Structure formats: C-alpha cells, structure tokens
Amino acid sequence: MEKIINPTLLKRNMLVASLFVTSFEMLKTTIQGKIKDFLCMDGALNDQGEFEYEISDQYRSEILDRIIPHIDKKKARDYHLFYSSCLWLKENGVITKGDIGYLERIRKHRNLVAHEPLRLLIDENANINIDLLKKSQQLLNKIEKWWIMEFEIPVNPDFDGKEIDEKDVQSGTTIFLDYLMHVANDEVNNSKE
C-alpha cells in the first residue's frame, strides 16, 4: 500500500527547509563578506558589473592561507573559507568557541537540508532542527550588531556625540530575516488550523 503524503506537512517542511537554507546563506555571507569588505578595500567592477576585490596581504594571511589542521583547504575550499572567517571573528572577540561549535552544527544541518530535501519533506521522522534555525538567527544578529557598533557607527558623523544603546541596533539583514521568520511562523501556524 502506498503511503499518502500529508500536504500540510509537505508545505510546512518546504517552508522551514527554505528558511533554514536562506538563514544559513545570510549568515555565511555576513561572516565571510564583512571580513573581506574590511580587509580588502581595493577593487573594481568586472565585465559583468560586479565588484571584485583585490586580495590584500592581510586577508590572504589571516583568512585564505590560514592553516587549519583538520581541513584540507584544497579539497574543502568553501568550508576552509567559512571556518577561517569564523576563527577571525573569534580572535577579534565577536563570537566564542561555543558559537563556532553552533556554526559548525548549523552548517552541517544546512547541508542535510539542502542535499536531502526529499527525505526532509516527506519523512515524518526527519525533522529540520528549529533550535539551530533560531541559533542561526541569533548569531547573525550578534555578528551584524558587532560590525555596526565597532565600525559603522563610529565613522558616521550622524552619530557623533550620541549615546547608542546596543540593544536597539539592528541591521537590514537581521530585520529582513526576522520578517521572513515571522511570515514563516504565521504560515506554519495557519496551516495547522
């Protein structure tokens, strides 16, 4: 007898899976992109109209050429770049060793979600880890907030002489992800009715 797929479960899982992948990609882009923006200031537009950085010696030594014993950077270039960037953030007091552990778990779960979507969509026993999704959102907020407080506000004359409460600071990226989470949560709750 063929098992019938629950359309409500399918819709919910598709929504949560897409949100998990989106959340991770936003987090990864923030982690890697902000460091590259900071350490590689020179660049130009390429033929496709995209900005290409000139890799600085500092970025090369602190990120690209970083030796991480358990990672072969030639075989796992994307992972090496992600992990090197996480270590840079840890060394600069942005995140903790525990946060790196969470980032690793989030990355691995994202790979499961992205590479085994059918299993996650139809198997009632295969779940997307909502706690890791929430942690991804928290880490994105923590990292974005650090960049704003440490680099964006100090160089913006509009904030000269003003007291800024860190808890009131949010980036456009985190506002957008919060909005996506809210919409997804409403959709999941409405589909239960």
Give the pLDDT confidence score for residue 89 in this predicted structure: 98
pLDDT class of 191 with cuts at 50, 70, 90: low
pLDDT class of 2 with cuts at 50, 70, 90: low
Six-digit token string for 72: 């072969």
Give the pLDDT confidence score for residue 95 in this predicted structure: 98
Find the DSSP H helices in the chain. 7-39, 57-59, 77-91, 97-115, 117-122, 130-147, 153-155, 172-192
List pLDDT tens digits, range 112-157. Answer: 999 988 777 667 677 888 899 999 999 999 999 999 999 998 888 8
State the Cα–Cα distance between residues 117 and 10, nearest whole angstrom.
11
- As beta bridge partners, residue 156 has none
Give the pLDDT confidence score for residue 126 in this predicted structure: 72
Tell me the angle at which helices 7-39 and 77-91 cross, rounded to the nearest 10 degrees.
70
More confident residue, 24 or 3: 24
State the Cα–Cα distance between residues 145 and 95, nearest whole angstrom.
12
Give the pLDDT confidence score for residue 99 in this predicted structure: 98
State the Cα–Cα distance between residues 144 and 33, nearest whole angstrom.
11
Give the pLDDT confidence score for residue 39 in this predicted structure: 94
pLDDT class of 87 with cuts at 50, 70, 90: very high
Q: Within 10 A of 43 (CB to CB), how many other CB atoms are there?
A: 14
More confident residue, 24 or 77: 24
Give the pLDDT confidence score for residue 3 in this predicted structure: 57
